């Protein structure tokens, strides 16, 4: 029997590619430090659990398709506090930022339309391209420039089929944070070439070294072409809540998104109540998380930088980095770490960066690290990685 051709062709997740080897290492009794998965480990705000406990309905019912009014009000207030003003009819609660992305793609794309996006990029985007039939037009960025891109880099990729530009800012998997000048530059291009902007800002507050938040939402003159993707997953350490949001002032897009939301009835009722609690946690909670990630960034960057041959600019935000290693094939090296290397029964797993690139051949000598371990574990993990690299290169 036949199955979907376009999905059959899709490659497996690069983040988990080496999982079999990690499992084998664990079976041998080794401890494996995971630097591969971007799953935050900080404590979810207590308010989330309080709201869930106090939710005692007789029947757990479907909720309004666009989200429960309390949560929409919380999201609206969170944005207003940032100086970004949405009405309640411009906010759709979604099942994670993931569903918001799928709906944004479905609302905007006709088969064959091109979406520009900086590469390396969040690998799940590839799924949304396949679902919507959009063509991926990557703007290649480089470790040497801290993964920033210029006006010329974008213009070189624009064609008559270009429909939108998609940007993860702060960037997963690179840790790049755009300046407001860069945001304005993209906005100017979007206006000139009549493009939509899909701004994936799920890491919005995770900007380091005193950088201000940079959001497409701050620019009033792109309101009609902007779709913001948001999520509680990273900001509130609540990946399991599966609550996100799509925000847009474009009425046509919102009307399509409304139909898509109606088609899947509603998001989880209890999780929406929990998420209201998350938004109560407020700014102090978020800045504390940011400060912890910054300390971790300092540890990882500090240790990596001491290794000769490593190329990596200081990551500016989120909790990831991509670094060039002095080996030809990082996937082989990372596999070797799991199969043939250990220090006191411990080793590390990280992701080969190749899977974050669309352009074939790029990223082969690069590693993607998610620094979501506590500080002592993280130091140990990076030291093991460094010693492993030394031994690997010595062989
Ligand atoms: C984690 C992540 C998301 C969405 O995650 P959800 O848990 O579905 O909210 C979206 N974009 C990027 C870049 C991410 O890293």
The pLDDT of residue 287 is above 70: yes
**329 Cα: distance to centroid of ligand 1 (angstroms):** 28
Average pLDDT in the 300-319 region? 94
If we measure between CA atoms, which residue out of 6, 7, 17, 5 comes closest to residue 356? 17
CA distances from 10 to 4, 5, 6, 114, 172 (A): 10, 9, 7, 18, 20
Residue with tokens 């847009």: 248
Q: Beta 162-168 vs 135-140: how paired, if at all?
A: unpaired
The residue to mutate among 36, 198, 201, 231, having the most atoms of ligand 1 within 8 angstroms of its beta carbon, is: 231
DSSP E strand boundaries for the chain: 31-34, 91-94, 114-119, 135-140, 162-168, 196-200, 226-231, 244-248, 320-324, 346-349, 351-352, 366-370
Q: What is the pLDDT of residue 294?
A: 98
Helix (H, G, I), strand (E, B) or coil at 58: coil
Q: Which domains does the chain have, with CATH numbers?
A: 5-43+284-394 (3.90.1150.10), 46-281 (3.40.640.10)
pTM of the model: 0.96
When pLDDT is averaged across residues 216-228 and rounded to a whole number, the result is 97
Position 252 scores a pLDDT of 98
Q: 98-113: per-residue pLDDT in tens?
A: 999 999 999 999 999 9
Average predicted confidence (pLDDT) for the chain: 96
Q: Compute, in angstroms, the gap from residue 206 CA to the centroid of ligand 1.
A: 14
Give the closest residue (by CA) to ligand 1 atom 3: 97
pLDDT at 163 over 70: yes
Percent of the chain with pLDDT over 90: 93
pLDDT score recorded for residue 214: 97
- 160 pLDDT above the threshold of 80: yes
Q: How confident is the model at residue 16 (pLDDT cuts 50, 70, 90)?
A: confident
Q: What is the mean pLDDT of residues 280-300?
A: 96
* Ligand 1, pocket residues at CB < 6 Å: 38, 96-98, 122, 168, 172, 200, 202, 231, 233-234, 239, 244
Q: Which atom of ligand 1 has the smallest separation from the CA of 243?
A: 9
Indicate the helix (H) or strand (E) that contains 189. Answer: helix 180-193
Question: How would residue 40 be classed by pLDDT, with cut points 50, 70 and 90?
Answer: confident
Report the nearest-CA residue for atom 4 of ligand 1.
97
**Ligand 1 centroid distance, CA of 2 (Å):** 31
| pLDDT reading at 92 higher than 70 | yes
**Beta strands 351-352; 366-370: pairing state:** antiparallel
**In a 10 Å sphere around its CB, with 0-12 CB exposed, 13-18 middle and 19+ buried, how is residue 96 labelled?**
buried
Return the best residue to mutate from 44, 93, 95, 98 for the ligand 1 pocket (most ligand atoms within 8 A of CB): 98
Separation of CA 57 and ligand 1 centre (Å): 30
In which band, very low, low, confident or very high, does the pLDDT at 14 lie, cut at 50, 70 and 90? low
- Determine the average pLDDT of the residues in 207-231: 97
For residues 29 and 6, which has the higher predicted lDDT (pLDDT)?
29
Strand 366-370 vs strand 320-324: parallel, antiparallel, or unpaired? antiparallel
Q: From CA 335, how far away is CA 338, in angstroms rounded?
A: 5
What is the atom index within ligand 1 of the atom nearest the CA of 171?
13
Q: Supply the pLDDT for residue 15.
A: 66
- Binned at pLDDT 50, 70 and 90, residue 10 comes out as confident
Check: CB of residue 147 under 8 Å from CB of residue 119: no
Give the pLDDT confidence score for residue 128 in this predicted structure. Answer: 96
Lowest mean pLDDT among 6-20, 43-57, 133-147: 6-20
Confidence of residue 217 (pLDDT cuts 50, 70, 90): very high
């Amino acid at each position: 029997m036949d199955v979907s051709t376009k999905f059959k062709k899709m490659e497996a997740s690069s983040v988990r590619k080496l999982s079999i080897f990690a499992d084998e290492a664990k079976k041998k009794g080794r401890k494996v430090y995971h630097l591969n998965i971007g799953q935050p480990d900080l404590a979810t705000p207590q308010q989330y659990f309080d709201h869930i406990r106090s939710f005692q309905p007789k029947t757990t019912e479907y909720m309004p398709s666009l989200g429960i009014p309390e949560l929409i009000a919380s999201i609206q207030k969170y944005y207003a506090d940032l100086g970004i003003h949405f009405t309640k009819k411009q906010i759709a609660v979604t099942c994670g930022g993931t569903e918001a992305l799928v709906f944004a793609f479905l609302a905007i794309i006709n088969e064959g339309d091109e979406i520009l996006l900086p590469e390396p990029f969040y690998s799940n985007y590839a799924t949304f391209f396949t679902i919507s039939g959009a063509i991926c037009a990557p703007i290649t960025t480089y470790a040497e420039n801290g993964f920033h891109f210029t006006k010329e880099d974008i213009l070189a990729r624009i064609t008559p089929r270009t429909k939108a530009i998609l940007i993860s800012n702060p960037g997963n998997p690179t840790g790049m944070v755009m300046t407001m000048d860069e945001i304005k530059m993209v906005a100017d291009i979007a206006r000139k070439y009549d493009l939509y902007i899909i701004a994936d800002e799920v890491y919005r507050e995770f900007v380091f070294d005193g950088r201000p938040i940079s959001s497409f939402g701050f620019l009033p003159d792109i309101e009609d072409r902007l779709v913001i993707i948001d999520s509680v997953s990273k900001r509130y350490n609540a990946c399991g809540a599966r609550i996100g949001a799509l925000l847009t002032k474009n009425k046509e897009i919102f009307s399509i998104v409304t139909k898509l939301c109606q088609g899947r009835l509603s998001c989880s009722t209890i999780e929406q109540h929990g998420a209201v609690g998350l938004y109560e946690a407020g700014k102090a909670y978020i800045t504390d998380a940011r400060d912890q990630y910054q300390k971790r960034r300092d540890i990882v960057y500090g240790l990596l930088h001491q290794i000769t041959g490593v190329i990596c600019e200081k990551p500016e935000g989120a909790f990831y980095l991509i670094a060039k290693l002095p080996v030809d094939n990082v996937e082989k090296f990372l596999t070797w770490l799991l199969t043939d290397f250990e220090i006191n029964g411990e080793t590390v797993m990280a992701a080969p960066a190749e899977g974050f690139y669309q352009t074939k051949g790029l990223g082969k000598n690069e590693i993607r690290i998610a620094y979501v371990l506590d500080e002592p574990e993280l130091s140990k993990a990076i030291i093991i990685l460094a010693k492993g690299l030394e031994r690997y290169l010595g062989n």
